[in-house]
Amino acid sequence: RVRVDKDAAGSVIARIVALVEEASATKAPTQLFVEKIEQRYSVGVVVATLALFGLPVALGADVTEALLRAMTFMIVASPCAVVLATMPPLLSAIATAGRHGVLVKSAVAMERLGAVDRVALDKTGTLTEGTPKVTAVHGDDAALALAAAAELPSEHPLARAVVAEARARGLELPEASDFTAEPGRGVRAVVDGREVRVRRAAGTHADTAVEVLVDGSAAAVLDLSNRLREGAPEAVAALARLTGTTPALLTGDNAGAAARIAAEAGLTDVRAGLLPHEKAEAVREWERAGAKVLLVGDGVNDAPALAAAHTGIAMGRAGSDLALETADAVVVRDELRAIPAVVALSRRARRLVVQNLVLAGTCIGALVAWDLAGHLPLPLGVAGHEGSTVLVGLNGLRLLRDSAWRQA
């Protein structure tokens, strides 16, 4: 028996294809600004061309000579190279990032990534592996079975760990109804006619702990542990070098677990016990102070903060649908070291955009000055104009090389 839950258009592959198409169709703020200026500039070039032809002819100049000068001026003054200066570097950077497991959703996002000057990281599933395990059950198997039944519909990594532990013990999971998930707090469901709540345990623990309540009474406490993700300390150090500020840890977990992971990763700014709206408020607080925050998360709890941040990156392998939809970029392979690498790539793309604009402006200015002050042959003007356009395009395409992706 085969059951299809979603249309093929909703599959992961189809969504990635749609995101790539969307990224190719978007325009970065710099590109939009250039196009806005280019429209007015083009009108000015046409008016100047007509004046450059009409005035000399009215004063008795040779018509053929005036026409050639005006035609040469229009060709060399056209802003083709300027318009092409922005998108090749950004689209090349998007393609290179994609080959290395980072899906940047748009040219806007790629440009914004390079501007971040502060980073905030979620803990579970982001800084740590997305597969926590139950290390201790302070209670009986019946309470664990009820907790697993209540957690079964949840997509949170801790919920999957509770379910996995119950199944590993061979426990039968009753059917749950009236399931409700409260992001950052826990879940509630009715199991065998009893109300079961699974929520964060109060107090400080060395590991993550959740409390199981059955009909309002404490039935068990489950301890869970989660290992630091491979490459996390190196990624944190690289992000600190790039932004000049050590990343912060924003987590809904208890202070003890947060402090332990932060110490292993090299983080000093730790904010624990945060609800989803409190994470978002912490990000807005930095934004109001003038910072451009990069938020990295994976769960439903992180979605408000991802939306509030200047730029958001989601961990793709275990990330929730809402986090993947909200983020500006997705790390498909869950490699933390890819995050500083894509930020550094974005900065290189931004530098190439500036280089291209300077190069294009210099070539246009030199050719226009030559045509107005002296005699610029039409073939040479065409070669200079087209050559500068090709040069700008090739300069932007340099980011397609594998060497452009360097660990920061």
Q: Which residues are catalytic?
A: 122
Give the position of tokens 């397609």: 400
CB within 8 Å of 120: residues ≥ 6 apart? 247, 248, 249, 250, 282, 283, 286, 293, 294, 295, 296, 305, 309
- How far is the CA of 37 from the CAs of 65, 79, 357, 362, 363, in angstroms? 31, 10, 13, 17, 18
Nearest CA among 179, 178, 127 for reference residue 157: 127
Q: How many other CB atoms sit within 10 Å of the CB of residue 150?
A: 32
Nearest CA among 155, 164, 24 for reference residue 94: 24
Nearest CA among 269, 262, 325 for reference residue 293: 269
The token duo for 226 is 């989660």
Structural Rg of the chain based on CA atoms: 29
